[in-house]
Amino acid sequence: MRETARSLVDLVTRVSVGYLFVSGALDHKITGTRFVRSFQDWGFPQPQLLAPAVGWCELVFGALLALGAFSRLSASVLAAVMVGSLWKPVVPQLRHDHPGLGDFLSALAYTPEWLLLLLLLGFALLGSGPHSVDWRYASRKGGRSSAGGLKRSCRWV
C-alpha cells in the first residue's frame, strides 16, 4: 500500500512538472519575441539564439519527463534550465529585496524556480518510478534488481 501511494505521488509530480515545462514552452513559442526580450533584459548572451533553444528544451524534455522516458537525462537538462532561471532573473532581485543572508535564503526557498530545481534533481538522481516508459523498458530488458530499483546497466534511464 505504501509503495503504491509513493509511486502515485511520483507519477503525479513527474507528469505535473513535465506539463508545466511543456505548457510554458508552448506559451514562449506563441509569444516568442517577448521571450527573447526577457532574455535580453536578464543579460543572457545571444538571446535570439538562447531563448528558442531553452524553449525547445522545455518542450522536448518536459514531454519526455511527463512520459517518464529518459527521465534522468530530461530532469538534468531541465534542472540546468532552472539554474539559469534562478541565476539571472531571480537571485539578483532577491538579493536586492532581501540583503540579509537569512532573509535571502528564506525568500529563495519560496520561489517556484527553487522548488522545481529540487524536484528535478530528485528525478535526475532517483529516476521516474514504476509508472514510466523507463521502468517498462528496464523491466522488459530484465533491468530490475531484487530491491525494485534499476540495475546498474539501466541506471541512465
Binned at pLDDT 50, 70 and 90, residue 1 comes out as confident
3-state SS, the chain, equals CHHHHHHHHHHHHHHHHHHHHHHHHHHHHHCHHHHHHHHHHHCCCCHHHHHHHHHHHHHHHHHHHHHCCCHHHHHHHHHHHHHHHHHHHHHHHHHHHCCCHHHHHHHHHCCHHHHHHHHHHHHHHHCCCCCCHHHHHHHHCCCECCCCCECHHHCCC
Query: What confidence tier does 70 reach under pLDDT thresholds 50, 70, 90?
Result: very high
Instruction: Give the pLDDT of residue 152.
Output: 42
Q: Interhelix angle for 71-85 vs 112-126, to 10°?
A: 160
Instruction: Give domain limits for the chain.
Output: 1-129
Which tens digits make up the pLDDT trace of 123-157?
A: 999 998 889 999 888 877 765 543 344 444 444 44
pLDDT tens for each residue of 7-64:
899 999 999 999 999 999 998 775 578 888 888 988 899 989 888 899 999 999 999 9
Which pLDDT does position 146 carry in this prediction? 32
pLDDT of residue 16: 97
pLDDT of residue 2: 82
pLDDT at 148: 42
What is the structure's pLDDT at 89? 87
Count the alpha carbons within 13 Å of 9 in the hemisphere toward its beta carbon: 8
Residue 91 · residue 97 · CB < 8 Å: no
Phi and psi torsions of 144, nearest 5°: -95, 135
pTM value is 0.83
- What pLDDT score does 38 carry? 87
Long-range contact pairs involving 60-64 (C-beta distance under 8 Å, separation at least 24): 61/21, 62/17, 62/18, 62/19, 62/20, 62/21, 62/22, 62/24, 62/25, 63/18, 63/22, 64/18
Q: Which residues pair with 150 in a beta bridge?
A: 144
